[in-house]
Amino acid sequence: MPLGTAAARRHAGALPLLCVLALALAGCSRDQYPQTALLPLSDFARIGDHVQDQTFYWALGVFILVEGALLYSIFRFRGRPDDPEPSQIHGNTTIEIIWTLIPALILAAIAVPTVKGIFETSRTPPDGLKIEVIGHQWWWEFRYPDAGVTTANEMYIPQGRAVEILNNSADVVHSFWPPRFAGKRDVFPGRETRLWWKADSTGLFPGQCAEYCGIQHARMAFHIRSVTPAEFDAWIAHMQTLGPKAPPAPTAAPAGDSLKTASAGAKVQGPQKDTTAAAAPQDPEYAQGEKLFMTKGCMGCHSLQAVKAPKGLIGPNLANVGSRSHIAGGWLKNTDENLERWIREPQAVKKGVLMPNLGITVEESRALRAYLRAHK
């Protein structure tokens, strides 16, 4: 057999192993796969990470000890053809006590940090920022009761301040899981569960529903945007401006003529010069999109109000949808192309959602995209 052919076969045999190794290394990338609980960014997450590390180290020690003793016994006491029949033994009290005490001590060493962690994570932080989380099939609603603000699928939190999460569900059982900040919390209809953490870092971090809740469970995502306290206060102040539109104030009549008309002897004045600044011309696509939003039934399921938003709506709150990083339940990037396709074909993008295909044309989807993009 030629040498080159034998070497090629050896290399070909190693190729699957190299592919598996490459996939394993790719899974360790925090940039490509940021949804990991192994890189904690809060005090709550570090408590769980510490318990997990301690358990792993003890398990690793037991594995090395047991497997080492097993390998030693295999090679040291392996049978040979001329060996006599081994003598039978019926137990050793000392050894039995030792191998009972050692696991008990290991379990105690694991139990102490575990119980301590349970008590630490069960406490309610003083002066924490309350955020109500409501799970829906398949999106998340976030309410800030102290500020009177509602949003969806993208939660803003201030860095360095504890947040207290009050979980509930509008339909079935979900599980709220922000892996970089805290552990999982099941979300039940009609029952409140709580969670808290204090973020160390700023940035945009993904989260996920961790309890199977239907065919789009894997696409029931959300994002947490951790910002500085000043940026958070500015965001809350901005969201508080996105409330119901006040009716226009009536135009005041000229002094002394409030009850007179031309037929009653009032002096009819000529056209008055408008001293107010002229309004900027409205984008035609925006105007068309606003009209379509009113006439296509979008208002029946969605609200564009962050303040005094109606409760119990079927669809997510859209008050600041134009500035969100993702749409469609937190899993599709908020690009113009994706937003237009989501408006036209929601059932093709995310089959089973309650948003129906409304027969929106390409031109209408562009107009609706322009209208929604302006809501930031």
- pLDDT tens string, the chain, 376 residues long: the values are 454 565 556 556 667 777 777 666 665 655 566 778 888 999 999 999 999 999 999 999 999 999 999 999 898 888 888 888 878 778 788 888 988 998 899 999 999 999 999 898 888 888 889 999 999 999 999 999 999 999 999 999 999 999 999 999 999 999 999 999 998 999 999 999 999 999 999 999 999 999 999 999 999 999 999 999 999 999 999 999 987 665 444 444 444 433 333 333 333 333 333 333 333 346 788 888 889 998 888 888 899 999 988 888 888 999 999 999 999 988 889 999 999 999 999 999 899 889 888 888 999 999 999 999 999 8
Q: What is the pLDDT of residue 313?
A: 83
- Displacement of CA 208 from its chain's centroid (Å): 5
Q: What is the pLDDT of residue 79?
A: 80
- Residue 172 carries which DSSP code? S
Q: Is 172 exposed, middle or buried (0-12, 13-18, 19+ CB in 10 A)?
A: middle
Beta strands 162-169 and 129-136: pairing type? Answer: parallel
Q: What is the pLDDT of residue 257?
A: 39
Query: What topology does CATH give the domain 282-373?
Result: Immunoglobulin-like (2.60.40)
Q: How far apart are CA 337 and CA 197, in angstroms?
A: 36
Q: How far apart are CA 349 and CA 355, in angstroms?
A: 11
**The token pair that represents 321 in the structure block:** 């949808």
What is the value of pTM for the model shown? 0.76
Q: Residue type at 117?
A: G
Beta strands 203-209 and 332-333: pairing type? Answer: unpaired
Give the start-to-end residue ranges of the domains of the chain: 282-373
Q: What is the pLDDT of residue 135?
A: 94
Q: What is the pLDDT of residue 237?
A: 94
Q: What is the pLDDT of residue 229?
A: 95
Cβ(223)–Cβ(326) below 8 Å: yes
Quickly list DSSP for 82-104: TPPPPPP----HHHHHHHHHHHH
Q: Residue type at 268?
A: V
